[in-house]
Chains A and B, each alone.
Chain A
Amino acid sequence: MARTDSLQGSLDLLVLKILSRRPRLHGYAIMSALKEFSGDVLRADEGSLYPALHRMEENRRIHAEWITKDTGRRARVYELAAAGKKQLVDEESRWHTVTSAVNRVLRTV
């Protein structure tokens, strides 16, 4: 339970970051990457990943494309768009500012 709660508000940032490292991932792969990079600590509620992806797609942060995999099944792969790259930079620096501020509070009090 605690694992999903910790994602509140930062799912977008994480998805953008993952896509900046590994372009052209489908939803399942994004989720797996999230698990993998966070050492299985961070884990998105699998279903809620998709509304988030679709919202970013509608806002032109990422764009999507249907591909046919070797298995013959179609998959929808996502890629960062220009606006997404810019948002990633902004969100990352905001995240650092916020976390370091929070850390400072935790240390001093």
Chain B
Amino acid sequence: MPLWSRIANVFRGDRLSRDIEEEIQSHIAEAVTEGRDPGEARRAFGSVLSHREKSRDIRLIPWLESLYADAVFGWRQLLKRKVTSAAAVLSLALAIGSCDAAFRLIDAMLWRPLPIAAPERLYVLSREVAGPDGKVLASDNFEYPMFRQMRAQVKDQAELIAVSNADHIDLTYGADQETEKAYQQYVSGWMFHSFGIRPALGRVFTENDDLTPSAHSYAVLSYDYWKRRFAEDPKVVGRTFRTGNEVYQIVGVAEVPFTGTEPGTVTDIFLPTMMMKNNAIVRSDYQWILTFVHLKPGVSVALVREKLRPIFRAFVEERAKLSVNPLRDQRLEVNHVSAGVSGLQRRYRTALLVLGGLVMLVLLISCANVANLMTAQATARQREMALRVSIGAGRWRLVQLVVIECSWLALFAAAIGACFGAWAAPLVVGMIGTPENAVRLMLPADWRVLGFGVAIALGCTILFGLAPALRASRVKPVSALKGGSPHLRARMMRLLIASQVAFCVLVVFAAGLFIATSDRLSHQHTGFAAERLLTVETVTPQPQAEPLWSQVADSLRAVPGVEAVALCEWPLLTGGSWNGFISVNGAAPGPAASYFLSVSPEWRELMKIPLLEGRDLRASDKLPGSALVNQAFARQYLGGENPVGRSFDVVLNEGRRDRYQIVGLVGDARYRDMREPMKPTAYFLFQADYSRATFMIRTVSQNPLAMASALRLEVPRARPGFRVSNIRTQTALIEQHTGREKLLSMLALFFGVVALSLAGVGLYGVLDYSVLQRRREIGIRIAIGAQATDIAGRVITDVFAMVLAGLSAGIISGIASIRFVETLLFEVKATDVGVLALPAVTILAVSLLAAMPAVARAVRIDPAAMLRSE
């Protein structure tokens, strides 16, 4: 290919020139050998230079050559100022890397389509319920019988697919002692076909694997799990595992990329929906499936929605007739979700997008710094530019020269940033999860990440390179060569300072909000004492009667280091919940539900929840029968009077009622959430048969987890068949509820510090530069008797005006944008004095600090020395 050799010639331009020159010289030498006069031979040849240039342009690609020359020149320019260039590259790399990391997280969690056939045609059903307080709540959970009717209704337009939430289950491939954990998801058998997922080994489910409840005890593994757990052993097909009392046979492994439908969780094991326990397939009061709608080509989503709505309405109406507290006001929506659906998405969507916004602001600040640097340099190089124009360089060539120099910076920064992002993204994912419930996000370095990196590098080049480049190209050779106009760049730099300060204020403002939120949330009163408290979640193959559980509790009390032991169905703030409607004196139940928990008699004292009236539960009490209630309960249902001795009914569906008598009033304790007000709660006696319960253990040692392994051994020893499923500290359970806020405040603080230091460095650079530019003027002022304060005032006045302008712009836009982050905040208002003062004070402090060196330099100018050097 001629093109290729011309491209290659670009990179050996010198040799090419030498060759052409030599050929021409040999021509003239030949002429002289033939006896011609050397002068005549040269004249006959014409202009050597012009012919050589013509030949050169033929033998290479001129525009590419100029690009190459500028790239080499730009590189040398950067090397000439190693420290400045490195600082610019590193600060930019930090910002770009943060953007990369944020993009990777956001893409993996919210945007990247599932690796399935036609993800653009994937929708999910959602029900919007108007709550009692008028707020609309959305839920993705549906009843299986309704799903069946819906699927039949739209079978020609779309495939409906039911999946459960991924669950962390206990299972074993051998003996009970070898129990391990895995993420399991129930899925419709036809999901694999509809999503176009083929087996990597064995087979995947079909429609026939999902027909009859409890009849298809088969499992399909995800490729990731097969690789991790079985090292891709092909003999895994046919193996069985047991979970609870059910035995499943592995029939195959799904193709590589498919890891379930929940971003953030990698499903290990797929089971047919028909295997869901508790009669879930036929129960009309059990909302447990997520319904995906995979449209057939060419079908509009509106059509499917209109066909599904009547079924939904009829079903809701039917249910409402049987329900204690019917929610008739429900609406079916069909939402586009090519990226899948997960609780993690719901919890972290806003937080991640806000983080993305913050890192973008940091990037803008960083770009403004580099733009200032480039502008300063462009001014310093005005003479060079003027000279280039004078000897015939085109304006466009000057733009190219500066832009290419900038793209070197951007390129290096993007490369280093990509590495930083690749390191930081998994780190943040690690902080989202907890040790027992690790979040696993697929973060491949795919073309999306690459494309983002390239786009951001280009964007940065344009952001900080274009203005200085255009400025350089507008140089007026006459005035520049005569002595220049040093104030040319002032307006541009001022504008950059103001916007930098404004962005910085936004970041620091957000950081302040998140830190305050996290702080208030972690100081939120729980109502119980969590220190030295261990929760030992224990399971049995069959439900076991309460005396057997108490027997194990007794053995645990004898373990050295254990201070006290109590039993409950699940720990507070663990996510488990049981609630129902309350009726007092036979009246109809109100709309507010109460929470319930079964606890052993020692539980209240162990949790250090104060007993305000009456007595504790006793082993001789009955279930249903006696109950402890909290203050919120007494306020909600009993008008706040002393409730001891009064009774209430728990109203169940189909009109059944259980009557309880209140034996004691206890302090409020958090049951489910750290944000909402204390909920009415009633505690009942732990007295039935349970296959899962939690031993609450107060240890002597300050580090309760040190006892975990001893307790794990002691439980099965105390009673064969009892097995520890999970040991966590109560503190860790509480921290789960503040994890997002902690993460957000930590990252926001980090970016706040980065933004402040970048803005500080930028301000320092601009002030220092302006003093350098104005040293002659300052020298003269000092010579004619100006005071130091006068000089300092002159140096900083106009820059501080810009700082103040940026500060007010930042605060105003901060307050205006607060509604985007409102859901992430807790008991913090944008108009709090403290929240507003923080960015203002820090920015002013940083500005003052940044101004010091420049002011000192200005004041110390020695007029005699300065004027002599001019």
Contact = CB atoms under 8 A, between A and B. Distances in A.
A50 interface: yes
A54 B55 contact: yes
Contacts of A29: 30
A45 interface: yes
Contacts of A51: 51, 54-55, 58
Interface SS of B by simple majority: helix
Interface string B772-799: 0000000000000000000000000000
B47 interface: yes
Contact of A27 (B2, B6, B23, B44): B23
A11 to B, nearest CB: 14
Contacts of A104: none
Interface string A8-24: 00000000000000000
A47 B22 contact: no
Interface in A44-60: 45-48, 50-51, 54-55, 57-60
Interface residues of A, number: 21
B23 A50 contact: yes
Interface in B10-32: 19-20, 22-24, 26-27, 29-31
Contacts of B2: 58-60
Contact of B27 (A28, A57, A58): A28
Contacts of A71: 33
B55 A50 contact: yes
Contacts of B23: 27, 50, 75-76
B44 A46 contact: yes
B769 interface: no
A45 B54 CA distance: 14
B520 interface: no
A58 B6 contact: yes
Contact of A58 (B24, B26, B58): B58
A47 B47 contact: yes
B20 A50 contact: yes
Given A54-B59, A59-B2, A60-B2, A47 B26 contact: no
Given A54-B59, A58-B6, A47 B48 contact: yes
Contacts of A26: 26-27, 30
B53 to A, nearest CB: 9
A96 interface: no
Interface string A67-100: 0000101111000000000000000000000000
A73 B58 CA distance: 25
B542 interface: no
Contact of B51 (A47, A59, A75, A76): A47
A28 B22 contact: no
A75 B24 CA distance: 10
B277 to A, nearest CB: 76
Contacts of B55: 50-51, 54
Given A55-B58, A58-B58, A73-B29, A50 B24 contact: yes
A57 B56 CA distance: 12
A74 to B, nearest CB: 6
Contact of A75 (B20, B26, B54): B26
A46 B47 CA distance: 10
Contacts of B5: 58
B63 interface: no
Contacts of A48: 46, 51
B45 interface: yes
A90 B295 CA distance: 61
Interface in B445-468: none
B59 A58 contact: yes
A67 B489 CA distance: 58
A68 B29 CA distance: 14
B30 A28 contact: yes
Contacts of B27: 26-28, 46, 50
B7 to A, nearest CB: 12
Contact of A74 (B22, B45, B47): B22
Given A28-B31, A51-B55, A46 B26 contact: no
A71 B26 CA distance: 11
Contacts of B54: 51
Nearest to A28: B30
B26 A76 contact: yes
Contact of A47 (B19, B46, B59): B46
A90 to B, nearest CB: 18
Contacts of A55: 58
A50 to B, nearest CB: 5
Contacts of B51: 47-48, 50-51
A8 B70 CA distance: 37
- 8 tightest Cβ-Cβ pairs between the two chains A and B: A47-B46, A28-B30, A47-B51, A51-B54, A54-B55, A47-B45, A46-B45, A76-B23
Given A50-B51, A57-B59, A73-B26, 14 more contacts: A27-B26, A28-B26, A28-B31, A46-B27, A46-B45, A47-B24, A47-B46, A47-B50, A50-B20, A54-B20, A58-B5, A75-B30, A76-B23, A76-B26
21 contacts: A26-B26, A27-B26, A28-B30, A29-B30, A45-B46, A46-B45, A46-B46, A47-B48, A47-B51, A48-B51, A50-B20, A50-B23, A50-B27, A51-B58, A57-B59, A59-B2, A71-B33, A73-B26, A73-B29, A76-B22, A76-B23
